[in-house]
Amino acid sequence: MKIAVLMKQVPVSNNVSVDPDTHALIRSSSEGMINPADLNAIEAGIILREKYEGEVVAFTMGPQDAEKSLRDALAIGCDEACLITDRALAGGDTIATAKTLAKAIEIYGEFDLIMSGALSTDGATGQVGAMVAEYLQLPHVSEINGVDFADESFQITKKFQNNIVELSCEGPASVSVCFGVNSPRLATLRTKRAAKNKEITVYTNRELQLAEQEVGIAGSPTLVVDSFAPEYQKKAKMLLGTPEEIAEQMKELISIERGKN
């Protein structure tokens, strides 16, 4: 089974700066890490590979620095990695990004399953996975909780309106994986060292051959009109008194909060 995992390098800290003109996040100002939900997608992919053999290939689009997160993905257990990087691709919205990723996957080879994290911790649009599927004309199931393979189809579980829904989907297919649905395995010092020496495929727009007006800022119809940090408010209140008095205060607070719904 050949699995592609789309992953994103996100800032470790929430303390990122915002471009005053474009209102886009300036990600270079912070240390990067693999988006947490993408780690769940990688784990789900590795579990499938361990069960059915094959390989897991991590894809990411970003600056050269995103190679660090790809090496982390290799250290965790991905077999191969592909970095899509080019100044011409910078500043792309979800449409331009999805178009670029889809093209890279197409060039890289055939895949049975394309996986991504359901949401990123920075942009949190949750759109790219489904858009890639659309560009590749694949069926897509969003925000899944689990995936297996049986009867020549992917058996997918997802939560929908407080119910667990089971779906069957023929491959090749695409899914986005919810954060926290599994426990991502950790790299070790040994696998980190091994990953350092692995070859990473690098695609620029020279390989992708996408028209300039289709990618990067030029290919992005999205207009961010504003972005701002939420107002920071310290609202913690210490409850004081005997255990009984504190319990009484908590009971009252809960009843007030309930009343708000």
- Is residue 234 within the footprint of another protein (CB under 8 A)? no
Supply the minimum distance, in Å, between the C-beta of residue 68 and another protein. Answer: 9
**94 token code pair:** 């979800």
Site string for another protein, 97-116 (x = CB under 8 A): --------------------
Judge contact between 63 and 85, C-beta under 8 A: yes
3-state secondary structure of 179: coil
Using CB under 8 A as the binding rule, whether residue 28 contacts another protein is answered as: no
Does 26 sit near another protein (CB under 8 A)?
no
Binding residue for another protein (CB under 8 A) from 19, 26, 28, 31? 31
Question: 63 to 92, contacts with another protein by CB under 8 A?
Answer: 75
Site for another protein (CB under 8 A): which residue of 64, 137, 190, 258? 190
Cα gap 148→154, rounded to integer Å: 6
H or E element at residue 133:
helix 128-136
Stretch that binds another protein, among 1-9, 28-36, 145-153, 205-213 (CB under 8 A): 28-36
Contact 132, 98 (CB under 8 A): yes
In whole angstroms, give the CA distance from residue 2 to residue 49: 8
Those residues with Cβ within 8 angstroms of residue 210's Cβ, 6 or more apart along the chain or in another chain: 99, 100, 103, 219
- The minimum distance between CB 42 and another protein, in angstroms, equals 14
Closest Cα to residue 45, out of 10, 80, 94, 71?
80
Query: What is the smallest separation between the CB atom of 40 and another protein, expressed in angstroms?
Result: 16
CB 38 → another protein: shortest distance, Å?
A: 17
Kindly determine how many residues on this chain lie close enough to bind another protein according to the rule CB under 8 A.
Answer: 15
SS3 219: coil
Least distance between another protein and beta carbon 187 (Å): 5
Binding positions for another protein, rule: CB under 8 A = 12-13, 30-31, 33, 75, 185-190, 192-193, 196
